[in-house]
Amino acid sequence: MQISIIIGIILMVVGGQAVTGEDNQQGQYWAVFADKPWLLAGITGGLIVLFAISVFSVNSIIAAAIRKGRYVSKAAKIISLWRTGTVFLAGIFSFVLGWGRFAEYITDIYMLQMLLWMLPFIILIFLQLYFCYELDIYCRKGCLPAQCDPDSGIWSRSGYLTYHLRHNLLGIIVPILFITFMADAGTSIFEYIDSRYPSDTPDSSISYLKAFLSVVAIGLAYLFAPLILRYVWMTSSMPQGPQRDHLEAFCKSINLKYSNILLWKTYRMVGNAAVTGLLPVLRYVIVSDRLLENLTPDQLRAVFGHEAGHIYHKHMPLLLLAVISIISMFGMFVEEALAYVPEYWPAWSQEAIGYSLGLISLLIGLSVFGFISRNLECEADIYGAEAADNFQPGIDGRLSSIGSAIMTSSLQRLSFINGMSVTARSWRHSSLSNRMELLFELSVKPGMLKSFRKKLRLIKLGVILVFVLTVLLLAW
């Protein structure tokens, strides 16, 4: 769900900037209702109502069929369809209707404008969650809410909405607003200094300097993200007891420094754990309520070992370097490519080329980041397997068979308690079946663990070299 929200928000923000930017003419060329604010608001509202009616009607039909034992395999596909629909409508609102212009009529405060740019998409997400509640519970529990055992622990509709809006929506919007605020603050400071002490700095250098300030803002957001998520997500300090003692002892055994261990309240519906933060003072160990209830001590050690592996192998700094490199590289590519577009071409064609290149760059960047992330997740699995067997070495340099078995059982248990298919894969994670197969092969095939670690070293070296190249190009 998070990837669809990220893409939708990017479409709304980029579209808003396109329509309201001083040097852009989309309102004249192809955002056909941008200069008719109340007609624009009416059409946008009408499309949202039509979406709500469609989701309600189709989901009600599917839920009724599921009660009769039919279409039981359609629930997940229907939910995926509506998520795709929200992204599609986000593109319509931004780039066809020109919704961003309506926000400009209401306020000229940039942060408020951004929220207004996002507003139609936020409403769509709320409606999609509200009307997909029954089908999502069915996907997770194998029963519709009215049919499930009350003691099995299922979300109420309000709890379901609260969790997803805070975890999936605010967890993305708040960091974006923070990045925007920091980048704007840096740009404002630079412009103030330049106004007091004018210089002959070329416009291109100023453009790259502003891009650099945006990159710095992303880095700061990444640094403070754990603190943001602590309060955006529903967390509290884990109470004292055997489970906390067990986790504290494990952290001490691997020399993992942290600020606090947090209990993640998911209404006992999500089994997950995380270790977030680049710096120990801003690092939190997060464990969900359902995870604590459903894993054995060995399995909990393996899952937590996986999260600790991200810290041990410096995955968060590497991913930060990858994000900065991808954004900067593709940003420079698009800007340089547009310089070769003939000036006599119509403005709308230049804009179309720019946004096409931007979209292609975004898709390629997401693919590259996903490849890096999936391999780092596998490295964290290996660390979790090693932690589960107290870091005992396997035979002939292979992964410990005991650790591999415990980590595999943990992944299987996670798939069960989260209602996940073991064959389903995501943008940042390989399928559980592939991860379990890799753990097994690493424990039985001599030399495979060494080869896989060599592959990981090459990926990490590649990330570092590309980052250095990015810095050199920005400086040049």
Note the pLDDT tens digit of each residue in 365-417: 888 999 999 999 999 999 999 988 888 888 888 999 999 999 999 999 988 88
To 5 degrees, how large is the angle CA 469–CA 179–CA 338? 50
Q: pTM, whole model, 2 decimals?
A: 0.75
- What's the CA gap between 407 and 29, in Å, rounded? 56
Over pLDDT 70: what percentage of the chain?
89
pLDDT at 28: 44
Q: Are strands 273-276 and 235-237 parallel, antiparallel or unpaired?
A: unpaired
Please choose, from the candidates 175, 156, 171, 279, the residue with its C-alpha nearest in 3D space to the C-alpha of residue 234.
171
Q: pLDDT per residue over 22-75, tens digit each?
A: 444 444 444 566 667 788 889 999 999 999 999 999 999 999 998 888 877 788
What is the pLDDT, as a whole number, of residue 200? 57
Answer whether 217's CB lies under 8 Å from 186's CB. yes
pLDDT, tens digit, 9 for 90 and up, residues 142-162: 788 888 876 666 788 888 898
* Tokens at 152, concatenated: 């099995």
Long-range contacts of 50-55 (CB under 8 A, 24+ apart): 51/85, 51/86, 51/89, 51/124, 51/127, 52/127, 52/131, 55/82, 55/127, 55/128, 55/131, 55/132
Q: Which of 57-66, 70-79, 113-122, 211-220 has the lowest mean pLDDT?
A: 211-220
Quick one: how many helices (H) and strands (E) in the chain? 17, 4
Question: What are residue 287's DSSP bridge partners?
Answer: 263, 273
Decide: helix, strand or coil at residue 261. strand
Residues 6 or more apart in contact with residue 342 via CB below 8 angstroms = none
From the number of C-beta atoms within 10 Å of its C-beta (0-12, 13-18, 19+), residue 12 rates as buried
Mean pLDDT within 286-291: 88
Question: The tokens 């891009």 sit on which residue?
Answer: 211
- Cα(17)–Cα(120) distance, integer angstroms: 16
- The residue assigned the tokens 């990015």 is 470
